[in-house]
Amino acid sequence: MLDLNDIAMFVQVVRSGSFAEAARRLGLPPNTVSRRVQQLEAHLGTRLLQRSTRKLTLTSTGQSFHERCTGAVDGLLEAGQELMTGSSEPSGLVRVAAPADFFDLFPMEWIAEFLAAYPRVRLDFVLSDGKADLIAEQIDVAFRGGPMRDSGYVGRQIVAALGDGLVASPAYLATHGAPLTLQDLVNHDCVISTHPSGHATWRLVGPNGEEEVQVAGRFSGNTAQALRKATAAGLGIALLPPAMATLDIQAGVLVPVLAQYQRTGYGLSVLYPSRRHLPLAVSAFIGLVTRKMNAGDAPQVEQPAGR
């Protein structure tokens, strides 16, 4: 019969990233934790962790086992904590992975509101346009723009997609003229997402259905805010989410270009490692983001244009 303590130690080792750190958190000698995980592997008849001098890596079996066990272990710990404290209040550390520009579009005041409502919760943000490894980086919840391709994670879309539109600064259009057709973009500087080739393929839907154009420019960047600022500075034509461009258009900083064309946006999705027994603090934070981002006047997070 499996020892639940061994499973709990395995989950802690994965979250800690090393036997030494897991042992420190558990208050046990490192060799004890290592031995107990080895016993678990022997009982299961399979290797869960690949060990090296630098790091621990989950095997495919280990990752599957971790995904099945982590929610149950957290649920037991939460149940015990609730019995001891007599409370079902969300608590503990929540590690959040989000796009690099998350706080440009998600006001920090909303975070302050959440922390005021849940004084026993701590938030740790990992901001990057890269795809975080939720298991290896000990991420509790990730917010991402774009289609969900992580079959090993649980996820759902929480913000509906809106169409990206072409925009440029008045100064750029005054100097270079406005394109009259989509293919005219070939002869313009376009502000695109970082790519080794210096080119991007934009697929947009217009009066004649979906069309494709190869574009290039002298400025590229890996965040949507960088592309917006470069466009406002007159460096070219860009594809931007409406939530990002609307205020600049209203202020006259940006001007719509070929408004009959749009690219389908991706909205915002939430990912977490396991479907079962989400910690209360994680559920509460997902609820906050879902409510705020779907409010009528709320901004929305999208991937950088050109991806």
239 near 193, Cβ under 8 Å?
no
Q: DSSP assignment of 133-193, as one string?
A: -TTTTT-SEEEEES----TTSEEEEEE----EEEEE-HHHHHHH---SSGGGGGGSBB-EE
- 92-160+267-293 CATH: 3.40.190.10
4-83 belongs to CATH 1.10.10.10: yes
pLDDT: is 305 or 38 the higher one? 38
Residue 80 has a pLDDT of 63
pLDDT in tens, 254-267: 999 999 998 876 66
For the chain, where do the domains classified as CATH 3.40.190.10 start and end?
92-160+267-293
Q: Is the pLDDT of residue 299 over 80?
A: no
121 near 281, Cβ under 8 Å?
yes
268 near 275, Cβ under 8 Å?
no
Single pTM value for the model: 0.53
C-alpha dist (Å) from residue 123 to 23, 135, 144: 23, 17, 17
Q: Which helix (H) or strand (E) holds 42?
A: helix 30-44
pLDDT in tens, 101-159: 788 778 899 999 999 999 989 999 998 877 777 877 888 898 877 656 655 677 777 76
CA dihedral 164, 207, 234, 220 (to 10 degrees): 50
- 164-263 CATH: 3.40.190.290
For the chain, where do the domains classified as CATH 1.10.10.10 start and end?
4-83
Distance of CA 20 to the CA centre of its chain: 29
List beta partners, residue 96: 125, 141
Q: Are strands 262-263 and 192-193 parallel, antiparallel or unpaired?
A: unpaired
